[in-house]
Amino acid sequence: MALPGLVGCKGPKQLSEVKEDGGSVRQMEITWLYVEASKQKILGNFEDAISLYKKCLDLDKANHAAMYELAGLLDYAGEHTAAIVLTENAVKTQSENIWYHRQLAGMYGNVKRFSDAAAVFQTIVKMEPDKMDNYIDLATALLHDRQLTQAIRVFDQAEAKMGKDFRLTMDKHRIYMELEHPDQAISELESFLRQNPDDVAVLHALAETYKSKGNKVKPLEIYDRILKLQPDHGRVHLSLSDYYERQNEDERSREELKKAFESKRVDAHTKAEILQHYYQATETHKELLPFSYELAQTFVRIHPDDPRAFSTYAHFQYRDRQLEAARDNYKRATEIDNSHFIIWNQVLLLDSELSDYNDMAITSAKAIELFPNQPLLYLFNGMAQLQKNQYDDAIGSLENGILLVVDNQVLLARFYATLGDAYHEKGEHTNSDNAYDNALKIDPDNVYVLNNYSYYLSLRKKQLDKAATMSERANQLQPNSASFQDTYGWILYWKAQYETAATWLRKAMNNGGDKNGVILEHYGDVLFRMGNKNEALHYWNKAKTAGNASEFIDRKIADQQLYE
């Protein structure tokens, strides 16, 4: 309808000033409101559109088009009840408009009023009896309403009108199986195959149905028929693998599984799930490992662009301590898809186990760019920079990471412990002590912090009583550790408790410290203080041979004197 009188018009108030009879003016105002509302809807200004449609309905309560449009916007805004009422009114006002019925059925379905939705779809089927989708929509609503038998009747009606259809056949088959009527499900598939004998999907469904009934002959006949049509049908090989496994024919089952893995038609998700099953099985059945690795290698070869192939293979390698190979495959997975934090975490864990701090620094920096709110990445970066003697960079990463830790006291303690090490290496002892103290406030029994903190205090000859208490606790928590025993003995040395110090250092040597230059030298120093100079010289010589002794070792041996 052309509306030349609207050109240049600013709004409905101006229209009311037009010198025409009241009915015409009112109709023009209604039309303007509807057109303007529709324009605002197209522009995405939904609130304005809703307001204008409502004004339109205030002037014309029977305006079914405005009801329909307003209902759609209200439903989108979550006002489902109001939207349904408006659409119901639109249907009553203009019952021949099929779009109103479709909207109403959809709205009923959205609020799970499936019986009501089915009733509307029945009307739609009557309005458009030659459209297959209408029957499918009706049957779907009936299925949601658990009216399974009625849904089958609807499919039968559609088939009577339009002939056999793949979608209808498969839906009816699924319903019969849910009703536990496998014979009817089989009849449905066989009826379709009489007209479409080479439909592989239906043949496969038929074989699986026979298999579910325990029939040992029919499935093999049908699988053979499918493979003649499509020799590389991976799903059939999966089915055959399962079939032979049920018959305890393990070798034939694995041969079929290998063929399935060679097929690109078996998706990566399915292959990953199968390998996860083998991963769990090989925890106890080690004899399956060679076959599992063969499948994993095939997975990678057939799906070179899928990260799941590489990460799945890496899981096996990591568990079996093939650390470098596992890291390479995890890295490949991140190169294909960098969105999975857990895979980046695995790479960094392996960097740590391999003591590859250069790679850890590079990888953690890349991961931080992708996941800037993951505190663990900053810990890895800080640890790597610390090992690379980049102390300022280490401190920066660790302090940034601490700010991101939420509700994870264990992780926070680890941050403070590493930060204490970084500050110690820089010689900023006050900051180092504060960091260690913060770590112990969170985790008082952190043996790593208890030992390192106490040892560093002993080197500075500061707070020796505190150091002794911490070191003693570390040895209680982790007895028979040569390193911890050496720390306690060395603290006692500086406290001039030489006899007790010697006892603890002998414990350290008995637990493997007899090949450690630091421990051997410490024991020599204690012996010297106790007046056993010849024996002290003997242990100093052993310390030099073992390596890692102090810078004073040569002078001690040459002068047979103690230098500290």
Q: Residue 529: which region, alpha, beta or left (left: phi > 0; alpha: psi -120 to 50)?
A: alpha
Contact predicate 113/121, CB 8 Å:
no
Percent of the chain residues topping a pLDDT of 90: 67
For residues 100 and 339, what is the distance between their CA atoms, to the nearest angstrom?
A: 43
pLDDT at 221: 84
C-alpha distances in Å from residue 239, one per residue of 9, 200, 219, 227, 256? 71, 14, 9, 12, 8
Task: Give 489: exposed, middle or buried? Use CB within 10 Å, 0-12, 13-18, 19+.
Answer: buried
474-497: average pLDDT: 95
For residues 64 and 86, what is the distance between their CA atoms, to the nearest angstrom?
A: 9
Q: Does the pLDDT value for residue 1 go beyond 50?
A: no
Token pair belonging to 340: 């999975």
In a domain, 479, yes or no: yes
Q: Taking the mean position of all CA atoms in its chain, how far away is CA 509? A: 48
233-261: average pLDDT: 90
Q: Does the pLDDT value for residue 338 go beyond 90?
A: yes
In a domain, 517, yes or no: yes
C-alpha distances in Å from residue 318, one per residue of 156, 312, 356? 55, 10, 16
132-155: average pLDDT: 88
Residues in the chain: 564
Buried b (16+ CB within 10 A) or exposed e, 448-486: bbbbbbbbbbbeeeeebeebbebbbbbbeebeebbbbbb
Q: Does the pLDDT value for residue 8 go beyond 50?
A: no
C-alpha distances in Å from residue 148, one per residue of 89, 144, 174? 31, 9, 10
pLDDT at 21: 47
Q: Which of 35-39, 367-371, 468-472 has the lowest mean pLDDT?
A: 35-39
Task: Give 304: exposed, middle or buried? Use CB within 10 Å, 0-12, 13-18, 19+.
Answer: exposed
468-472: average pLDDT: 96
291-316: average pLDDT: 97
How many domains does the structure of the chain reveal?
1
DSSP string over 136-194 = HHHHHHHHHTT-HHHHHHHHHHHHHHH---HHHHHHHHHHHHHTT-HHHHHHHHHHHHH
Contact predicate 539/551, CB 8 Å:
no
Rg (CA), the chain: 39
24-32: average pLDDT: 84
C-alpha distances in Å from residue 93, one per residue of 73, 381, 544? 19, 68, 102
In a domain, 413, yes or no: no
Q: Is the dihedral of CA 282, 285, 288, 289 positive or negative?
A: positive
In a domain, 31, yes or no: no
For residues 432 and 195, what is the distance between their CA atoms, to the nearest angstrom?
A: 82
503-520: average pLDDT: 95
Question: Which stretch of DSSP H or E encloses residue 535?
Answer: helix 533-546
In a domain, 323, yes or no: no
CATH number of the domain at 511, please.
1.25.40.10
pLDDT at 6: 26
209-216: average pLDDT: 83
Token pair belonging to 218: 């029919």
260-271: average pLDDT: 93
In a domain, 7, yes or no: no
* Between 316 and 175, residue with greater pLDDT: 316
Domain residues for 480? 474-564
For residues 556 and 564, what is the distance between their CA atoms, to the nearest angstrom?
A: 10
Q: Helices H, strands E: what count in the chain?
A: 32, 0
Residue 559: pLDDT band (50, 70, 90) is: very high
Q: Does the pLDDT value for residue 113 go beyond 60?
A: yes
In a domain, 389, yes or no: no
In a domain, 19, yes or no: no
Q: Does the pLDDT value for residue 13 go beyond 50?
A: no
Buried b (16+ CB within 10 A) or exposed e, 179-192: eeebebbbebbeeb
480-503: average pLDDT: 95
**Digit-coded pLDDT (tens) for 185-200:** 888 888 888 888 888 8
**Predicted TM-score (pTM) above 0.75:** no
pLDDT at 490: 95
For residues 134 and 139, what is the distance between their CA atoms, to the nearest angstrom?
A: 9
Q: Does the pLDDT value for residue 564 go beyond 70?
A: yes
Residue 23: pLDDT band (50, 70, 90) is: low
For residues 264 and 520, what is the distance between their CA atoms, to the nearest angstrom?
A: 63
Q: Which of 14-23, 135-144, 173-182, 231-240 has the lowest mean pLDDT?
A: 14-23
Residue 18: pLDDT band (50, 70, 90) is: very low
For residues 459 and 484, what is the distance between their CA atoms, to the nearest angstrom?
A: 15
DSSP string over 468-505 = HHHHHHHHHHSTT-HHHHHHHHHHHHHTT-HHHHHHHH
Percent of the chain residues topping a pLDDT of 70: 96
Token pair belonging to 235: 């799903």
Q: Which long-range contacts (CB under 8 A, 24 or more apart) does 6-13 make?
A: 6/32, 6/35, 12/55
